[in-house]
Amino acid sequence: MRFSGLVENEILKFTRQRRFRVVVLILVGLIGLIVFAQSRSRDRFRSGKDWHVETQERMARMQNMLRDNRTPPTWRRWARFELDRLKYHLDRDIDPEAVSGPLFARGFANAASYLLLPLLAIVFASDIVSGEFAQGTIKLLLTRPVGRANVLASKLAALALAITLTILFGGIVAYVFGGIAYGYAGWAAPALTGFRVAGERLDPAAVRSVALWQDTILAYGLAWFASLSVGAIALLTSVLLRSTAAAMGTMLAALIAGTILPRLAPTWEAQKFLFVTNLPLPDYYSGSPPPIAGLTVGFGAAVLAVWALAAVAAAFAVFVRRDVLA
List the one residue from 56, 64, 74, 135 that touches another protein (CB under 8 A). 135
Residue 162 makes contact with another protein by CB under 8 A: no
Asked if 247 and 235 touch (Cβ cutoff 8 Å), the reply is no
The amino acid sitting at 39 is S
Q: Which of 229, 22, 227, 243 is nearest to 128 (CA)?
A: 243
List the one residue from 111, 142, 197, 202 that touches another protein (CB under 8 A). 142
List the one residue from 143, 199, 201, 294 that touches another protein (CB under 8 A). 143
Residues 48-77 that bind another protein (CB under 8 A): none
Residue 12 makes contact with another protein by CB under 8 A: yes
What letter does residue 207 receive in the DSSP assignment?
A: -
List the one residue from 48, 73, 145, 294 that touches another protein (CB under 8 A). 145
Q: Minimal distance in Å, beta carbon 177 to another protein?
A: 30
List the one residue from 21, 72, 139, 306 that touches another protein (CB under 8 A). 139
Cα(72)–Cα(90) distance, rounded to whole angstroms?
27
Residue 157 makes contact with another protein by CB under 8 A: no
Report strand pairing: 201-203 vs 208-211. Answer: unpaired
Residue 6 makes contact with another protein by CB under 8 A: yes
List the one residue from 33, 50, 60, 147 that touches another protein (CB under 8 A). 147
What letter does residue 289 receive in the DSSP assignment?
A: P
List the one residue from 144, 266, 273, 302 that touches another protein (CB under 8 A). 144
Where in 134-286 does DSSP place strands (E)?
190-193, 196-198, 201-203, 208-211
Residue 33 makes contact with another protein by CB under 8 A: no
C-alpha neighbours within 13 Å on the C-beta side of residue 111: 14
Q: Minimal distance in Å, beta carbon 321 to another protein?
A: 8
Cα(110)–Cα(284) distance, rounded to whole angstroms?
9
Q: For 11-35, b where at least 16 C-beta lie within 10 A, e where not — what string? A: bebbeeeebbeebbebbeebbbebb
List the one residue from 146, 205, 261, 314 that touches another protein (CB under 8 A). 146
Residues making contact with another protein (CB under 8 A): 1, 5-6, 8-9, 12-13, 16-18, 135-137, 139-147, 323-325
